[in-house]
Amino acid sequence: MTRKKLLVVEDDLGLQKQLRWALDAYEVVFAGNRDAALGQLRRHQPAVVTMDLGLPPEPDSAAEGLLLLQQMLAIAADTKVIVLSGNQDRANVLKAMALGAYDFHQKPLDGDMLRLMAERAFFLHAVQQENRRMLQNEADSPLAGLVTRDPGMLRVCRSIEKVAPSSATVMLMGASGCGKELLARGLHNLSARHDRRMVAINCAAIPEHLLESELFGYEKGAFTGADRQTLGKIELAAGGTFFLDEIGDMALPLQAKMLRFLQERVIERLGGRSEIAVDVRIVCATHRNLKAMVDEGRFREDLFYRLSEIVLAVPPLRERMGDALLLAQHFRHRFIQSEGRPALPFHPDALAAIEGYGWPGNVREIENCVRRAVIMSEGPHITLEDLGLPPGAPQAENIDLRDARNAAEYRVMVKALARTGGNIARASELLGVSRPTLYDLMSHHGIK
Ligand SMILES: Nc1ncnc2c1ncn2[C@@H]1O[C@H](COP(=O)(O)OP(=O)(O)OP(=O)(O)O)[C@@H](O)[C@H]1O
């Protein structure tokens, strides 16, 4: 593994040695003056720098050090600079902090303290970089606005990107509020039809007797109250994409008419006499199990196959790794801005509850929950009460890497021993370690 780089700006060779020793967990590069430091910064791009303010040619003043600090932060603003100061340097340390230094450490050097400081600085830098990458990805993504880090959901996004340029009919299956419409919009935006309209209709929200005229439109006088010609949603989407949400809720007689449209790509307005050719890309969505509905005779099999040229299963939020927290932070940022509220971080208890809760209403539920909390919170944190999550939400799982490694090690070791009936030689072969290593591991985990 490559070690993290840390730049030490120090002209005193004795101190250089001490620093190399104290910071031996990192790849330390040195510079003895301002020019050399700027060169090393450009070359190695270290995340963390320690620097003495008194540098040649004026080692007794802080002028050279303060200038260097400004120049370094101008080149790489995220660099975490730790200033090493003497005890007479208070005023200069304050200046350095005001210029953007990350922290300071008073000489004589305390190795433990310095290591801790460097570790925290690297951590903060990594978090900031990750945030920056996330924001960048979000802005760059054609599926803009879709927040996820979950491998399953990312696979769905990649599939959307792949099928978008084709003319295939796509069916999105997934629970309510899990982002099907957002994905359909992404698909439309990525397709050659993006400069035309995407028209959506929710089959569950419109009474059965009105749905037909909503879909196909009607001519003047087609029925009482039809006082002028009205185009249907399918026709309005001509050249673009037609999104049929909750297709599973469409009644059987209308399913037959929909099938005819899909086969012949023509519509007839209610009360009309002519067939009108309409070129639209169809995307549909449902939270129902359409296959089961077909088996029960509640959904036409031929329509099912017409609609499901490409089927994408959108995972519910509870199955997405880490997405609940990511989405909560995303919506918190968004609503803080739109509601004009000051920064309102989540209280750790609130974070634990967000992670532990099952989110049956999926992303829509988390969006509403965070919006309410941002509006209601009296600060300085968003608390568990602000979120209104059920009390006693389970605590977040432990994500300590060492614990996770230990648990995984224990699991595979027990498996290998079980598979080989406790035969150490064969178990160590299975595990790909030597016998002494396996004995060590067994004793570490208390396995007899
Ligand atoms: N991954 C995501 N990132 C950011 N916002 C999301 C994400 N998924 C969904 N949303 C937001 O959550 C809300 C619900 O999403 P959407 O309407 O797409 O869900 P749906 O599956 O179509 O729901 P329904 O089945 O109830 O129609 C919307 O406001 C949407 O913008």
ipTM entry: 0.98
pLDDT of the residue at 448:
65
pLDDT tens per residue across span 289-347: 999 999 999 999 999 999 999 999 999 999 988 889 889 989 998 999 898 888 788 88
Q: Which of 181, 198, 329, 331 should be mutated for ligand 1, with most atoms under 8 A from CB?
A: 181
Is the pLDDT confidence value at 153 over 50? yes
pLDDT tens per residue, range 260-281? 999 999 999 999 889 999 999 9
Which atom of ligand 1 lies at the shortest distance from residue 174's CA? 21
Dist. CA 287–CA 315, nearest whole Å: 11
Residue 50 CB–ligand 1 contact under 6 Å: no
Domains of the chain: residue spans and CATH: 5-135 (3.40.50.2300), 151-313 (3.40.50.300), 318-387 (1.10.8.60), 401-444 (1.10.10)
Position 399 scores a pLDDT of 60
pLDDT of 392: 47
Mean pLDDT calculated for residue range 153-166: 93
Q: Is 19 in the pocket of ligand 1 (CB under 6 A)?
A: no
Nearest to 178 by CA among 365, 390, 309: 365
Confidence of residue 74 (pLDDT cuts 50, 70, 90): confident
pLDDT at 76 over 90: no
**pLDDT at 396 exceeding the cut of 70:** no
Residue 429: per-residue pLDDT: 87
State if residue 182 touches ligand 1 by the CB under 6 angstroms criterion. yes
Six-digit token pair at 330? 């995303």
249, pLDDT greater than 90: yes
- Taking the centre of ligand 1 as the mean of its atom positions, its distance from the CA of residue 61, in whole angstroms, is 59
Angle between helices 151-163 and 180-190 (to 10 degrees): 40
The answer to whether the peptide bond before residue 315 is cis (omega within 30 degrees of 0) is no
Residue whose CA lies nearest to ligand 1 atom number 31: 182
β-pairing verdict for 230-231 and 217-218:
antiparallel
Say what the pLDDT of residue 252 is: 94
Query: What does the mean pLDDT of the chain come to?
Result: 89
From atom 23 of ligand 1, which residue's Cα is the shortest distance away? Answer: 177
pLDDT at 188 > cutoff 70:
yes
What is the C-alpha end-to-end distance of the chain, expressed in Å?
33
- The Cα 231–Cα 217 span in angstroms is 4
What are residue 171's DSSP bridge partners?
284, 311
Q: Whole-prediction pTM value?
A: 0.63
pLDDT in tens, 350-369: 888 898 899 999 999 999 99
Token pair for residue 122?
A: 């690297």
